[in-house]
Structure 1
């Protein structure tokens, strides 16, 4: 996917001069604090927000000029799939987990009910969900189980690109590890990932490249290891310095943080 956006104005955020690509089988992290425009970017990539100019291309196909109906048809193909931050909001509370997992296949209308059920059961094994959980409701599952269901729901139509919006932010350490291990398995299937998060530790563990968003603009981009070990922009340095477990250095002192904030004001 190639993304070249001029300006996008939504009800809450403005994105400006966004330019990056995702290669086949690559995992790209998008980091930044709340309000930096991460979710707006995800919604734009799915056609839920429309940029005022620029382009979004997938395998050479121009998407940014498509009508809402064309976008809906494109999403129906399952080529791009989205994993929401809060699984409870994306799963029907009145339907079983098995029903929710099979819903994207029913929408496509290509398989019989028996084929859908078989595929759901196979996928449950892949994401380490016990078959008994398929007959339960979302509220009966743990946070980690619900997030694995949400990832599985995105996978069931065999997408080429999976966009994950803060997929581990609400999980405890043990469940976070389980979900990250699942995503690592996807890398070996050739699925491309856009991993949106403010959890720099998770980004460091799962992505090849990282894009840093600040006030709706990309201020730094590069290999994740390089971004973590040698951040160049003051905003990136402030983010990394506030997560000292990523590096061998200690936390930034109050004076160091204030100095970076002052430098950030000068370059903004």
Structure 2
């Protein structure tokens, strides 16, 4: 059975044009005052207001940004095969069920011993999928592109951990959820996966069919923390600042 209908790049028209994907949060973003534009092949909120205000929310309170444009590839195989494929494609990554690893330009997460979730930058999913499929060929393994099937939000800022604690029983304290920590569980009473990318920045992934619910749950929980919606443009600027800080170290 083919799952290519879930793949943005492989759903083009006869003339080769690739359609623009619509973020599962797009209607909610628009209702919240977001200006929808195409970013990385996805129609999502570019801004909600002055980017400086959105950045300030991330630095002093908490900001919530749509990350659904990330590539999301699921690899399933028996544990030994899974480890071998991941190591081959990533040049040696060792999968861990409680810790994600950054390698070959992607996050390598393992929700279970026989399943890996590879998160790539927007636009890189097709190349990574081809590499995974080549490594999986001839093995008892499958690769599925879930880029459109999973919605993603980043919760960023000093109050991010406390906000999420209102919605999940997952232990997000630093001792239990260090940087690069990864946990499958429930957020807002829906199945989810949480990755602590760095500092006080948490990536929450849920099925796209839960997008409306998780958006509303996080927005409601965020009121007491002064949470703000953050557009793609401010997030890109935040990312550039983080890269500059790392390079300066």
Instruction: Tell me the TM-score normalized by structure 2.
Output: 0.23
Q: Which has the larger radius of gyration?
A: 1
More helix by share: 1
More strand by share: 2
